[in-house]
Amino acid sequence: MENRVSKEKAYKLLAVQMGLSNSKAKELIDRGVVYVGNRKVAIARGELPVDTKFRVVKMGRPEPIFENDEVLAVNKPAFLTSDEAAAPFGGARLLHRLDRETSGVLLLAKSKSFQKRAEAAFKARAVYKVYSCWVQGIVSEPMTIEKPIKTVKKNGIAYSKVDRRGKEAITHIEPVMISGNRTKLRVVIETGRTHQIRLHLKSVGHPIIGDSQYGVPSAQTNRMLLHALELKLLGYDFRAKEPKGFDVFAGG
């Protein structure tokens, strides 16, 4: 006689195991911080054995980098949306956004005059943006990727693709460190298309490690290894230190 393993929806199991409400458990899975072993639980309503043991990654808090009467810069941790990272800082208004799993420099305007000038700078491409990331494969020389990007939304989720009918997108990459079959890159973008860095790197055969949408999830990290390192505009220069996970591949 066949033995059937009893199963239940992942969010319900997590709720019972962690003493959470079903809605909170589903939110954590959707956020991407729930794991079974080294594998991320991707579908909250997916069924798992009832004896499954979960691990929940602890989320950090946004740390102020600089603040004055017109601007606030924070170091956004991974797993928070830009709106969530901005929420603790009162009436300051977001000037741009980072993907949920991307950490680093996030700017908020504290005055309407600065907001207007900053938005004009972003529109005019008068903003210098540097990112740090780890990618699969060996990148031995700098390169510039110029491939137009078209973004579509399906079921409320944005997805970008290289398309000749898309908008201009320019990404400059430079290798910083090679470890095994992985490379740490310094990335400078001239344009800010949705998922630009992630898509451009995938398009040249070097997806970002941990990127479950455009690359392949990695058992060696619980997040996408992309960090907004520096942002310059209107005479300001903001820098956010890399999180500890960014030296995970150093030395081997």
Distance between CA atoms of 9 and 29, rounded to whole angstroms?
12
Q: What is 115-150 written as a DSSP string? A: HHHHHHHHHTT--EEEEEEEEES---S-EEEE--EE
- The number of C-alpha atoms within 13 Å of 115 and in the hemisphere containing its C-beta is 10
**Six token digits for residue 153:** 């939304």
69 noted as active-site residue = no
Whether residue 193 contacts residue 169, with contact meaning beta carbons closer than 8 Å, is answered with: yes
Whether residue 94 contacts residue 82, with contact meaning beta carbons closer than 8 Å, is answered with: yes
Task: Point out the catalytic residue in the list 99, 163, 211, 237.
Answer: 99
One-letter amino acid for residue 7 of the chain: K
Distance between CA atoms of 207 and 136, rounded to whole angstroms?
6
Distance between CA atoms of 129 and 187, rounded to whole angstroms?
8
- DSSP state at residue 3: P
Active site residues: 99
